[in-house]
Amino acid sequence: MFDDVQENLSNLQEKIEMDRIIKMQTELGSEIRSRAAIEKIKVFIQKERKIYLDMTGVTFISRSCADELYNIQLDYKHVKIKNQTGEVYKMMRVVEKGRTKRRNREILDSSVQNMKNIKLFEDFLQTI
């Protein structure tokens, strides 16, 4: 099993060195759901080469994965994401907006309720 993983990693490394395009669907599938998947790609990013992450065929990306890809773009200026469509494009924009838009949180007037027993807690719940 370890040999298979090594061979797959070697094949991926050769692809990156040859054409500098990582086809995300080929490497991770059409649905990218975990940060661990993005970590697999991160290992092969070389600082001196321009790398394109080709999202052709990727139909879904979780918010956490989109966030990781956003971090990669911030950390590695030579990495570009291309061919985002549909839901993948929308999720990447959601993450981008979340990073660039300043959050304004209301200050809520609240108090701490001291519940010494379950009866007091039940009585409190009846009031909300």
The amino acid sitting at 54 is D
pLDDT band at 125 (very low <50, low <70, confident <90, very high): confident
Does the pLDDT value for residue 42 go beyond 60? yes
Does the pLDDT value for residue 19 go beyond 60? no
The answer to whether the CB of 37 falls within 8 A of the CB of 12 is: no
HEC assignment per residue over 99-122 = HHCCCCCCCCCCCCCCCCCHHHHH
The answer to whether the CB of 55 falls within 8 A of the CB of 88 is: yes
Residue with tokens 């991160």: 42
Question: What does the pLDDT read at residue 127?
Answer: 85
Confirm whether pTM is higher than 0.85: no
